[in-house]
Structure 1
Amino acid sequence: MQRPRDKGVMLTRGQPGFDAAVLRTSFNGSDPGVRPKVLVQANDVFDVLSAVKRARREGLKISVCSGGHSWMQNHLREGGLLIDMSRLNRIEVDVEARLAVVGPGCWSVDLDKRLRRDDLFFPIAHAVDVCLGGYLLQGGFGWNSRVLGLACENVVGLDVVTAQGELVHASEHEHPDLFWAALGAGPGFFGVVVRYHLKVHPRPKVTALAMQVFRMRHLEEVFLWAEKVGPQVPRSVEFQLLLTRKATGIFSPGIEVIAPVLTHSWRQAREDTAFLSKGPLRAKASLAPPLLPVSTSLMSYLAAKRIFPPGMRWSVDNMWTDAPMSQILPGLQRIADTMPPMPSHVLMISWHPPEARQDMAFSVEGKHYLALYGEWRDQADDARYGNWATDNMKAMEHLSKGIQLADENLGKRQARFLSDAHFDRIQRIRAEYDPQGLFQTWKGH
């Protein structure tokens, strides 16, 4: 994705440049063939207020995007009015209060770099160009989230333009129901967030990366070991397993065992990643570099360049699961055998959430997070790869607790993304704040 450098304008379907401007709002290189009636490239809060009021007058359904990283392009709907928030990207930091105020179009990496100047930190997304708008609404599990909580748990307030065309502040004490719903509603949120008020933290003194690479023939023993050791892995470590057609160092199908660690000293970092360096499978690793200092920004850049390049066509789906690895493995083997070429990949995070979260809409997670990312450039391959992720997740639905909205595929496969009680509560709050249904909701709903 490219940061917008020009002044935002309002375009109507049929105008020169309209189609190109609409498609630039999406990270996914596929054209779904649908178009809004009106595109508003907001420059400020006043543009948003004006757009919402126009939608009310003309009876246009509203969809919103900030960075366009929705794989299923949830914001691209037929008819209606699309508000592009990518130009609202200002960052303000109060160092003494440890608070940041950011626009929804702010790139994750830009917030990380700005906070670094004051030795502060926020659990940003793993890819550089994921904007904070959608990331925070869907929950946001990013760097150091196992210590600091989900990104949305670090939101202390939001400035929201409601369906009534009013600008309100939502927090635990003002419009608490609206605040509750924003923390996990994702693309089903019924308002336009124009500013986020974030709690920021002291920056970890050490950010480093431990890694081992195994050939695909070791898939079963690697994942069984990961299941065994996962509950004991320190929360300073984000324990990931990545399946790829061209694994680092071996340039052939393999499993990358990745352990980013954020902590207060090198000694602690080495202790926290010892489960990997001293693990029983180390001798079978084709590559086992030493613990290396790597910043969160650099890790995000590397991920973006290698496995999230722009212009790709995508087939993405996911699940949270508590199932035993012995039951997951047949599906994993099938996924590995059928995975599209690079940069397609499969990610499993040994997540192991805390026993309790704060009271918020976000309500579905599990011990393991499994996400499939199929990628290709040629439209001619759509029939070959377009349902790869969906079909494999359908085959494993009996093992699933639900999905994460970050990698949802609700346009093709309906799945549980909130607890039943929280879904019902969101619908009641929606009826209060958006009784005419001005805002688009989740695809398929």
Structure 2
Amino acid sequence: MADLPDGRHFFRGDDGYEQARAQTVWNARTPERYPDVVVQAVDADEVVAAVRYAAQHDMRIGVRSGGHSWAGNHVRDGGMLLDVSRLDDCVIDTDTRTAVVGPGMGGSVLAGRLDRQGLFFPAGHCKGVRIGGYLLQGGYGWNSRVLGPACESVLGLDVVTADGERLHIDAEHHPDLYWAARGSGPGFFAVVVAFHLRLYPRPPVCGSSLYVYPMACAEEIYPWARAISAEVDRRVELQIVASRAVPGAGIDSPSIVLASPVFADSEAEATAALALLDTCPVRDRASIAVPYAPSDLDTWYAGVMSNYPTGYRYGTDNMWTSATADELMPGIHRILETMPPHPAHFLWLNWGPSPQRQDMAYSLEDEIYLALYGVWRDAADDDAHGDWARSNLATMEHLQTGVQLADENLGRRPAPFATDAAMAELDRVRSVYDPAGRFHSWMGRV
């Protein structure tokens, strides 16, 4: 009989249970769902023991590696919540430009370690995000328009299967499970205990442009951004963030911010790559206009996190689309008109058209990515702000291709995140490796 780790497992009703349950969700809106037991594993052996215990007691398993996890997909009623955030080892091989990293390693921590060694990986944009869930769902990170979603840089994984067996999976070993691991996100049907990653040379130049416009310019900015979407240099991340205020810039009024990182071989290349963003038709109305400035990851992380404060309550949703500006603008106006106070915000990202991807479960993306982040502090505002993201994007569903799993809200608004063919293959591979349904699937799907 497998045993659970002493002092780090909590059955419902035990002292420490609620703390162990709640701390697995970064979002202060902890779901009202209660597993029978929370297990905090510290190594692969404890993961094996936990999975075997669950099998012996016919428990379903939700797995958490850490990070934002807005929807708390891993927190379910009954069964086991397996917390692997303490598996955060990291071994970097500078000669082969590879690393073996535990699922609990913070992406920003990994990025910092690599930066000091002249290396780079497309880690996530937010501090605190652990690589486990980030890589399983796809991984939209720094310079991903060039390097691809981070899951394309996963060379292999060490996993524990539903029957408690440890496997190394890659393109040659259990290739179907390897295929499934790259893009299935919170519905993956094994526990990852280590990722084997391909690393890259650190880009010689990192910089960005910054433009801040009044919200009244929306009618000109978004159609222009849509019109140039195919022309944006892939080394540039054209991120447009609308919010009621921009505290970091000292602006206390509704604004649209174009903050666009660039990665290049020289400052001349970086400046040239960003030049297109200086062609906005309302350029003369910008309260701040910086066509190019050198930057670094620490500065970018600090800027991003001003929109994602710790201890707040979040309601998120997203969509991929290739719709025209004329089709999108009614919904965008509604988003802007109903937006809660800062730090709630609306993100527009020019993503595609994208190159041919590797064959993997990750299989759905489009030209434009839209994401809404309702962010508020007081639980008394849940009714006022909690459905802002979902309800606005529900009215635009006829324009969506699907959603990405990073900002999923599948429990409240089911939507496709992979092609029909990929979903059929995921179901087939699940039937092979997890025939009893030991691991929870995605919320919104049985």
Offset at 1:146? Answer: 0.7
Q: CA RMSD in A?
A: 1.2
1:283 maps to: 284
2:205 maps to: 206
Indicate how the Cα distance of structure 1 residues 386 and 143 shifts in structure 2: closer, same or farther if over 3 A, else same.
same
2:160 maps to: 161
> Which amino acid counterpart does residue 208 of structure 2 have in structure 1?
L
Alignment partners' CA distance in 2, 1:174 and 1:117: 33
Indicate how the Cα distance of structure 1 residues 182 and 220 shifts in structure 2: closer, same or farther if over 3 A, else same.
same
> Which amino acid counterpart does residue 256 of structure 1 have in structure 2?
V
Alignment partners' CA distance in 1, 2:67 and 2:114: 24
Residue pair 1:146, 1:353 contacting (<8 A) in 2 also: no
In structure 1, the residue corresponding to 2:39 is in which secondary structure?
Answer: strand
In the TM superposition, what are the counterparts of 1:133-152 in structure 2 within 5 Å? 133-152=132-151
Residue pair 1:112, 1:297 contacting (<8 A) in 2 also: no
2:3 maps to: none
2:56 maps to: 57
In the TM superposition, what are the counterparts of 1:428-443 in structure 2 within 5 Å? 428-443=428-443
2:301 maps to: 300
Give aligned pairs, total: 438
In structure 2, the residue corresponding to 1:307 is in which secondary structure?
Answer: coil
Residue pair 1:204, 1:263 contacting (<8 A) in 2 also: yes
Please state if 1:386 is matched with 2:386. yes
379-388 vs 99-108, greater mean Cα deviation: 379-388
In the TM superposition, what are the counterparts of 1:240-251 in structure 2 within 5 Å? 240-247=239-246, 248-251=249-252
> Which amino acid counterpart does residue 326 of structure 1 have in structure 2?
D
2:15 maps to: 16
1:227 maps to: 226
1:322 maps to: 322
Alignment partners' CA distance in 1, 2:349 and 2:139: 14
Offset at 1:300? Answer: 1.6
Please state if 1:89 is matched with 2:83. no
Residue pair 1:29, 1:311 contacting (<8 A) in 2 also: yes
Alignment partners' CA distance in 2, 1:415 and 1:444: 9
Residue pair 2:274, 2:291 contacting (<8 A) in 1 also: no
In structure 1, the residue corresponding to 2:323 is in which secondary structure?
Answer: coil
What per-residue deviation string (whole Å, max 9, x for no partner) do you get for residues 301-327 of structure 1?
A: 3312x1111111111000000000111
2:421 maps to: 421
Offset at 1:8? Answer: 7.2
Residue pair 2:61, 2:440 contacting (<8 A) in 1 also: yes
In structure 2, the residue corresponding to 1:310 is in which secondary structure?
Answer: coil
Residue pair 2:321, 2:366 contacting (<8 A) in 1 also: yes
In structure 2, the residue corresponding to 1:101 is in which secondary structure?
Answer: strand
Alignment partners' CA distance in 1, 2:220 and 2:398: 23
Structure 1 residues not aligned, in runs of 5+: 1-6
In structure 2, the residue corresponding to 1:64 is in which secondary structure?
Answer: strand
In the TM superposition, what are the counterparts of 1:351-390 in structure 2 within 5 Å? 351-390=351-390
Alignment partners' CA distance in 2, 1:170 and 1:89: 19
Offset at 1:289? Answer: 2.6
Give me the TM-score of the superposition, normalised by structure 2. 0.96
Alignment partners' CA distance in 2, 1:307 and 1:280: 27
Alignment partners' CA distance in 1, 2:280 and 2:390: 34
In structure 1, the residue corresponding to 2:402 is in which secondary structure?
Answer: coil
55-64 vs 13-22, greater mean Cα deviation: 13-22
2:268 maps to: 267
Residue pair 2:138, 2:183 contacting (<8 A) in 1 also: yes
Alignment partners' CA distance in 1, 2:197 and 2:359: 17
Alignment partners' CA distance in 1, 2:252 and 2:303: 16
Residue pair 2:224, 2:280 contacting (<8 A) in 1 also: no
Alignment partners' CA distance in 2, 1:120 and 1:281: 38
Alignment partners' CA distance in 2, 1:371 and 1:229: 19
Structure 2 residues not aligned, in runs of 5+: 1-5
In structure 2, the residue corresponding to 1:158 is in which secondary structure?
Answer: strand
2:313 maps to: 313
Alignment partners' CA distance in 1, 2:118 and 2:30: 42
1:4 maps to: none
Alignment partners' CA distance in 2, 1:180 and 1:97: 23
Alignment partners' CA distance in 2, 1:268 and 1:60: 55
In the TM superposition, what are the counterparts of 1:176-195 in structure 2 within 5 Å? 176-195=175-194
Offset at 1:386? Answer: 1.3
Give me the TM-score of the superposition, normalised by structure 1. 0.96
1:36 maps to: 35
